[in-house]
Amino acid sequence: MTRPDHMVIDRKVEVVAVAYLNLNIRYSEAEALVSAWHKQYPQYDYQTLVQWILAGDVTYVDGQLKLAAYATSEDLKQLVIQMRSAAGVSIKDRRHNLTTYRKCFVGSEAVQWLMGNLGLTLDEAVRVGQRLLKRGIIHHVVDEQDFKNDYLFYRFYADE
């Protein structure tokens, strides 16, 4: 049976390998970066870091691992509260081709809201929208699209 400390070491080796392969950094540097990350963010385990790297939510910038805006579940929960508030994105019934879609918002309007209210770049805002979709918080009204900065309708699952 594997001892718990061996499991932690195995997880660390896995995340170092994932960082090395996916972030295009030297293995020895990846090892140091992962150790520094774990000291800075002890509340997140190695498996979470692996998932974030594979999803593109952690990048290598200026010699450090950088967590993308609104990548944590806690941050996303707060963001959803803001987006669904009276000062948030415009959520209302919308029509397209004789079909009414209830309680939805427009992707491009959400991107503009994210940029204007949170100071995100266009790319960051679209990535946050994609993250909301991939984590099962929002969906395209007919489930045919990823999140895009376009005139497409999305709905919070909480509004179903």
pTM of the entire predicted model: 0.80
Q: One-letter amino acid identity for 70? A: Y
DSSP string, 87-114: TSS--EEEEETTEEEEEEEEHHHHHHHH
Query: What pLDDT, on the 0 to 100 scale, is given for residue 124?
Result: 93
Average pLDDT, the chain: 90
63-111 per-position pLDDT tens digit: 889 888 888 889 999 999 999 999 999 999 999 989 999 999 999 999 9
23-41 per-position pLDDT tens digit: 888 888 998 998 898 898 8
d(CA 120, CA 8): 35
Query: What pLDDT, on the 0 to 100 scale, is given for residue 1?
Result: 46
Q: Which residue has the tokens 């004789």?
A: 98
Query: What pLDDT, on the 0 to 100 scale, is given for residue 130?
Result: 95
Q: Which residue has the higher pLDDT, 17 or 84?
A: 84
DSSP string, 33-87: HHHHHHHH-TTS-HHHHHHHHHHT-EEEETTEEEEPTT-SHHHHHHHHHHHHSTT
Query: What pLDDT, on the 0 to 100 scale, is given for residue 157?
Result: 96
